[in-house]
A and B are shown apart, each in its own frame.
Chain A
Amino acid sequence: MIRVSGLTKLYGDLVAVSDLSFAVEPGEVLGLVGPNGAGKTTTLRCLAGIIAPSGGTVEIAGIPLGTRPVEAKQRLAFIPDEPHLFEYLTVEEHLRFVARLYGVTDAAARSRDLLSELELEEKRAALPGELSRGMRQKLAIACGLLHDPQVVILDEPLTGLDPGGIRKMKATIRARAAAGSSMILSSHLLHLVEEVCDRVLVVRGGERVVHGTIAEIMAERPEMAGRSLEDVFLALTGGDGSGGPVGVRPTPINVPEIPDSR
């Protein structure tokens, strides 16, 4: 499981994340949602040990990330929205590299299964430059899941995937959770959150707005009964009062009449 307590991240005077606390139990999928600039990615990067928080603690499977980072990261996978790959390593070599980093003893069998599951078998000798955006994303996912992590953090996991890939990704998230992993996923795709997440954490301005199951969140806003999660999200994050898309001027384009040549 992952336990977050009082997580705070400051950049000078700017409060990116403020006193965030939550826990994700084994087998649970938490959806982290919020508008742009809400602090989601900063939160995820703190949870993955990429950046050091200014305050608070993070525990991965009971191991404090701040004081025992190597042991904690051994049980963690972070899959970013933009796959960071090494352009000179093939698909198979990426998996061999990750296997050694995490000491995966049965790496060959697991690699085979993952490549099959993510439909990358035929691309095992390909370099990242020879892969499509979706395949690169799948490779990043395969690298993240190779060591069977207890906590999986996914930032916009569906970016670049085709419909088939999206379906498989959702199934993979559910299967990993069913196998006992704690999953955190950040996404702007609210239908994905609604479909695969057990609980939702809505953040805005680095602060927790609401945390709970979708039913619990709906129950807190009786006036929103019968509305979609998107409506609730917009109401919670203050994005519903403008009456129209931001920045689009409803001014018609003036197209001059072309003189009739007849």
Chain B
Amino acid sequence: MTGPLTPTPLNDPWAPREPLVPLTVEPPDDPAWTDRRGGVTGAVVYLTLRSAVNRFTRQLQRLRSPRTIIALVVVVLYGWTLLFSADPGTLDRPGILSSDTAARLVTLGVFLSSAYYWIIGSETRALNFTPAEVQFLFAAPLTRQQLVRYRLLRAQAVIFVSVLIWTFFLRRTGDGVDLILRPIALWVLFCTTYLHRLGATLVRVGTVGHGGAGVRRLGIPLALFGASAVAVLWSAFQAWPASGIRVIGDLAPMIERMTSAPAAAIALLPARLVVAPVYATTTAEWMAAIGPALLLVVLHFVWVVRTDSAFEESAATAAAARATRVTQLRTGAPGPGGLARRLTARLPLAPTGQPAVAILWKNMLGGLRTEKLMIFIIILPLIAVGLFLARDAMVPRVRTTVAGMATAWALMALALGPSWVRSDLRRDLLKLDLLRSWPLAGDAVVGASIASSALLLSVLQFATWLIVIAATGDLLIARFGPTLFAAGAVAMVVALPPINLITSTIHNGLALLFPAWVHLGAERPSGFEAMGQLYVMLLATVVLLLVLLALPAGAAMGVHWLLEATLGAWALPLSAAAAGLVVLFEVWMAVDWLGGVYERTEPTAIGAA
């Protein structure tokens, strides 16, 4: 590095070199030029194919990395276990997804989706051009019809993947209907619904700025869908059981009565025609159903490509809005003027005191504003209050069902919560340069980061348990007695934060020790590699959790054994407190060690990860 620069062909402009290929510019209207390259259609086909090939090549190249190979193996093994280990006999029976009720629900869904695009509209979803496509294609000499055809071509990739996935989920016996006919039917269904959404959006944006003429043009489909919606709602009202819906099983006959009613049957006819081949169980049924469905897709195609609406401005605006939203998701930035941002604006922080508290404060704001936690933390207690006030009007079965769902959610939050709440080192390590310039010791930074996630998780879990208590508190008291209920509740309040501290320590520690294996930053990971890494880390977390909980569990059992005879149920919270103290000691030791790791970690190592 210290010697004089040696002239090379790159930095010596006068070095002999091969002659440059002349850059030739031919007139764009030269027919030979367009013929040779397949015209503009060739360009968009080239763009589509090259994008797919390049993406696939990059994925293959990533397989050189051991961590990617391990992640892939884990994903394949997991997928194999999940999908193919089921008893083959179960395939003989139609599952929930392929039942008659599901067919009726899908028909309703197709109808509602179409009505949504006509009545409310969503340019962002239907005209989903990327900013690059807007920049290159909208400025290129392409007609609107060519742009629409390009959009349809690009949509085929997503439709193809959807067909594959749903072919698997809707399989019944693995015969010819499953393997050949159903994929064709699914393709027809997805293409028709996509074309319908696109057509509706093109008509909607085409009417903007056309005054009364525009309103009249949009008026006919709006009136049709409005009338159809009224017909479906009226049928639903008529089909509603007099005794109300008490269990999920009451829904199926109600949906059948509703969709079979004459008014709804007429309104849902087009949707039913396009859905019917998907739910055909025999080749004969499929053959009878596919004709009308194919006719619908052809008619939709002709309609869409002949629609000459000036959609460019709407599409460009939608592309910009989508790009902004993607950036916000990637960077973790909250939307402007969001509710969470306003509610947390006054979270206090004194200018003096323990500096590490500033990190706790910052991470709390980050978590509440970007992890959508604020919504849960507000909504869950409101639901609890509503349940408490309405509990006398509800049958016990509904209350226990709600409490059961809340319990399942709370347990999931305990196990998977640290993967959702990541407002800690996992988000900040990419800014290690900045963190290291602060006047804080490593253990202070690590400790505050761990505490912030544990605190947010604990608040979320407490809010969820409130629902359980509000819904079934009186039932639990009646069954276990007030003393055991109160002691159990206090024990839970004491035990949850230490458990969250442990899981947060594990996740932050793994991020520090193995940054290449942990997703860092605010952007959500995707792809098989991310999924595989997630499973590996989940496994590591479970193993570490079991190891770290062994000592606290032993302490809790010891204290309970000692005090149960004297204190009865109140030995429970004291046992939890004993376990909590052991956990605090473990976390303190871990933070001290991880603080040293933090101070030794080179920012380049994180960047390389």
Which residues in A have some Cβ–Cβ distance to B below 8 Å? Answer: 11, 14-15, 18, 37, 45, 48-52, 69-74, 76, 78, 80, 84, 86-90, 93, 96-105, 107-108, 125, 127-130, 204-207, 238, 242-251, 253-256, 258
In the complex the two chains form, is B10's CB within 8 Å of A247's CB? Answer: yes
* Residues on the A chain within 8 Å of B25, using CB: 255-256
A244-B13, A249-B13 known; A103+B4 contact, CB < 8 A: no
In the complex the two chains form, is A101's CB within 8 Å of B27's CB? Answer: no
In the complex the two chains form, is B433's CB within 8 Å of A80's CB? Answer: yes
- Could you tell me the distance in whole angstroms from the C-beta of B19 to the nearest C-beta in chain A? 8
In the complex the two chains form, is B439's CB within 8 Å of A74's CB? Answer: yes
Which of A15, A86, A103, A248 lies in contact with B351, CB distance below 8 A? A103
Which residues in B have some Cβ–Cβ distance to A below 8 Å? Answer: 1-5, 7, 10-14, 17, 19-20, 22-27, 327-328, 331-334, 336, 341, 345, 349-353, 355, 357-358, 361-362, 365-366, 369-370, 431-434, 436-441, 522, 600, 602-604
* Residues on the A chain within 8 Å of B11, using CB: 242, 246-247
Residue in chain B with minimal CB distance to A71: B439
In the complex the two chains form, is B440's CB within 8 Å of A101's CB? Answer: yes
In the complex the two chains form, is A129's CB within 8 Å of B352's CB? Answer: no
* Residues on the A chain within 8 Å of B361, using CB: 97, 100
* Residues on the B chain within 8 Å of A84, using CB: 431, 433-434
- Could you tell me the distance in whole angstroms from the C-beta of B394 to the nearest C-beta in chain A? 39
Residue in chain B with minimal CB distance to A206: B1
* Residues on the B chain within 8 Å of A129, using CB: 327-328, 331, 333
In the complex the two chains form, is A88's CB within 8 Å of B351's CB? Answer: no
In the complex the two chains form, is A86's CB within 8 Å of B366's CB? Answer: yes
- Could you tell me the distance in whole angstroms from the C-beta of B114 to the nearest C-beta in chain A? 35
Residue in chain A with minimal CB distance to B3: A205
The residue among A89, A90, A258 with the most chain B CB atoms within 10 A of its own CB is A89
In the complex the two chains form, is A101's CB within 8 Å of B358's CB? Answer: yes
Which of B5, B351, B366, B433 lies in contact with A50, CB distance below 8 A? B433
Which of A18, A96, A127, A249 lies in contact with B333, CB distance below 8 A? A127
- List, sorted by A's number, 15 A–B pairs whose CB atoms are closer than 8 Å: A48-B436, A51-B603, A52-B600, A70-B439, A80-B433, A87-B331, A88-B333, A88-B334, A102-B439, A127-B333, A243-B13, A243-B14, A244-B13, A245-B13, A250-B13
In the complex the two chains form, is B352's CB within 8 Å of A15's CB? Answer: no
- Could you tell me the distance in whole angstroms from the C-beta of A9 to the nearest C-beta in chain B? 10
Q: How long is the Cα–Cα vector from A87 to B365 in the complex, in angstroms? A: 11
In the complex the two chains form, is B436's CB within 8 Å of A96's CB? Answer: no
In the complex the two chains form, is A205's CB within 8 Å of B20's CB? Answer: no
* Residues on the A chain within 8 Å of B2, using CB: 15, 18, 204-207
Residue in chain B with minimal CB distance to A48: B437
A102-B355, A129-B327, A238-B5 known; A89+B365 contact, CB < 8 A: yes
Q: How long is the Cα–Cα vector from A247 to B327 in the complex, in angstroms? A: 35
In the complex the two chains form, is A100's CB within 8 Å of B351's CB? Answer: yes
- Could you tell me the distance in whole angstroms from the C-beta of A113 to the nearest C-beta in chain B? 15
- Known: A97-B362, A249-B20, A255-B24; 12 extra A-B contacts, CB below 8 A, are A15-B2, A45-B603, A49-B436, A50-B436, A51-B603, A69-B439, A73-B437, A84-B433, A101-B355, A206-B2, A242-B13, A255-B23
Residue in chain B with minimal CB distance to A258: B27
In the complex the two chains form, is B439's CB within 8 Å of A88's CB? Answer: no
* Residues on the B chain within 8 Å of A72, using CB: 439
* Residues on the B chain within 8 Å of A103, using CB: 351-353, 355
Q: How long is the Cα–Cα vector from A253 to B19 in the complex, in angstroms? A: 12
* Residues on the A chain within 8 Å of B3, using CB: 205
* Residues on the B chain within 8 Å of A49, using CB: 436-437
The residue among A15, A130, A256 with the most chain B CB atoms within 10 A of its own CB is A256
- Could you tell me the distance in whole angstroms from the C-beta of B430 to the nearest C-beta in chain A? 9
* Residues on the B chain within 8 Å of A37, using CB: 1
Q: How long is the Cα–Cα vector from A204 to B5 in the complex, in angstroms? A: 11
* Residues on the B chain within 8 Å of A78, using CB: 437
Residue in chain A with minimal CB distance to B442: A69
* Residues on the A chain within 8 Å of B341, using CB: 127
* Residues on the A chain within 8 Å of B355, using CB: 100-103
A101-B440, A242-B13 known; A87+B522 contact, CB < 8 A: yes
